[in-house]
Chains A and B, each alone.
Chain A
């Protein structure tokens, strides 16, 4: 019962924030006129139109698979390299500057390069996502591998813990606790970069929709696409990554009864 009330209050709190934001949006629209800033209802109307002529679902699908495949490639490569860099100091020192350089290159520059190398199309968008999110995953995994607790390792030595078990019971859970927050950040970056890449490089997807909206001066349409991308990001984070984290790291949320001293 208590937990139900807490959940309702938690949702209520979030909902209050969202409603407040929508109210501000509506107020801004009334103040500046619906051409400059179309209200939430205009955006919703545009969204319904997109949904009516199937444009919406095609765009959502195109953007989702580009963002997700780019994210998946970046997560695998970044985490793999990050682990190696964290475990070997030499490799870490060699890879770190590369990661810094990659982080320093603005996504828009990657898009230009991708267009030159791959031409327009999905590949350019996916490539841009990979190039911009790899360093994020890399940094998380590297720190995770570097901060393994030496005292726990000594304990493992004394109890003669074999290698496979060390990996599974000692290293992985620790590394995961660093990798997950990094992946959540990377996921956010992946969506944003996908939309930006699509704006320049593809004929479909949310970004392409925004390009169309720009050409036809359809501000309400642009707003509708923004809503779509924010919803996609929220669904991916709270519908996929967070539940996954809860499943893998139950010890983070556990709140048992307080022990007697």
Chain B
């Protein structure tokens, strides 16, 4: 599992995160929401081990951690299958086997028949699916997702969410996902964590106990409305004229 205890992060003179407490249990799907600039991505980078905490403790006990970024971050000079197999190549899996596994995953994310395409020949949504397949390829038990669908339009985003639900959440892979879309969080999470303020800190946690199958669009909007009625959540999400002046 992932444990953050009183984690703070300073980048230069700026304090990005202060006293963040957060846990992600095995198989649990946690969504981080909050206004832009509150340190969601920084928290994800801490979890990925890309940066070190300034104070507090951050322990990642998961066996393998993988990530899907806001942009696909594919290698433009490698074909689709080689991009999926990147993590396997880094682990020394031989070419034949890693391509076979990449092909299976390409099928699962709906990209069969695009094996030999270069990333720039694929659409944005397809590139993001390649990035998801690349993360799944290393057989991770913990997946970090940083607003992976924010660049997609509504229909594609819903499709991608469905894919994450069936390939990640239902498979018991623990996730920590950043999003600014409350309905997206409610659709995919066991628990929604609201991060807010400068420096960012956890202001609210909301456990979602409704089974995934019962999370219809109508339910999502209703639940988002419930959440937004709480003052802390409202403060961090809704437009408030006073702060604009200040």
Contacts and interface: CB of A to CB of B under 8 A. Distances in A.
Contact of A158 (B50, B117, B122, B125): B50
Given A259-B114, A259-B126, A159 B77 contact: no
**Secondary structure dominating the interface of A:** helix
B189 to A, nearest CB: 22
Interface stretch (A96-104, A148-156, A181-189, A237-245): A148-156
Contact of A173 (B69, B75, B121): B75
B86 A152 contact: no
A261 B50 contact: no
B89 interface: yes
Nearest to A151: B73
A173 B50 CA distance: 24
A251 B76 contact: yes
Nearest to B138: A159
B66 interface: yes
B50 A157 contact: yes
Interface in B137-161: 138, 144, 156
A4 interface: no
A19 interface: no
Given A251-B120, A261-B125, A158 B75 contact: no
Interface string B57-100: 00000000111010101011110000000110111000000000
Contacts of B71: 151
B50 A154 contact: yes
Interface string B104-136: 000000000010111011110110000000100
Given A155-B73, A159-B138, A162-B90, A259 B78 contact: no
Contacts of A255: 121
B48 interface: yes
B159 to A, nearest CB: 11
Given A155-B73, A158-B66, A169 B50 contact: no
Interface string A239-261: 00000000001110011100111
Nearest to A157: B50
Nearest to B91: A160
Nearest to B45: A154
A178 interface: no
B11 to A, nearest CB: 15
B86 A159 contact: yes
Interface centre among B50, B77, B120, B125 (most CB of A within 10 A): B77
Q: What range describes how many residues of B lie at the interface?
A: 20 to 34
Interface in A12-63: none
B75 A165 contact: no
A159 to B, nearest CB: 4
B186 to A, nearest CB: 26
A113 interface: no
A161 interface: yes
Q: Which of A174, A177, A254 has the most CB of B within 10 A?
A: A254
Interface string A158-202: 111110010001100110010000000000000000000000000
Nearest to B92: A162
Contacts of B45: 154
Contacts of A260: 123
B90 A152 contact: no
B50 A165 contact: no
Nearest to B78: A169
Contacts of A177: 77
B244 to A, nearest CB: 32
A254 B118 contact: yes
B75 A169 contact: yes
B90 A165 contact: yes
A249 B87 contact: no
Given A170-B75, A173-B77, A251-B77, A259 B121 contact: yes
Interface in A105-160: 151-152, 154-155, 157-160
Nearest to A152: B73
Contacts of A174: 77
A38 to B, nearest CB: 49
Contacts of A259: 114, 117, 121-123, 126
A161 B77 contact: no
B63 to A, nearest CB: 12
Contacts of A250: 118
Contact of A256 (B69, B76, B121, B144): B121
12 contacts: A151-B69, A151-B73, A154-B45, A155-B67, A158-B65, A161-B90, A165-B90, A169-B86, A255-B121, A256-B118, A259-B122, A259-B123
Given A159-B90, A259-B117, 6 more contacts: A155-B67, A158-B48, A160-B87, A170-B75, A177-B77, A251-B120
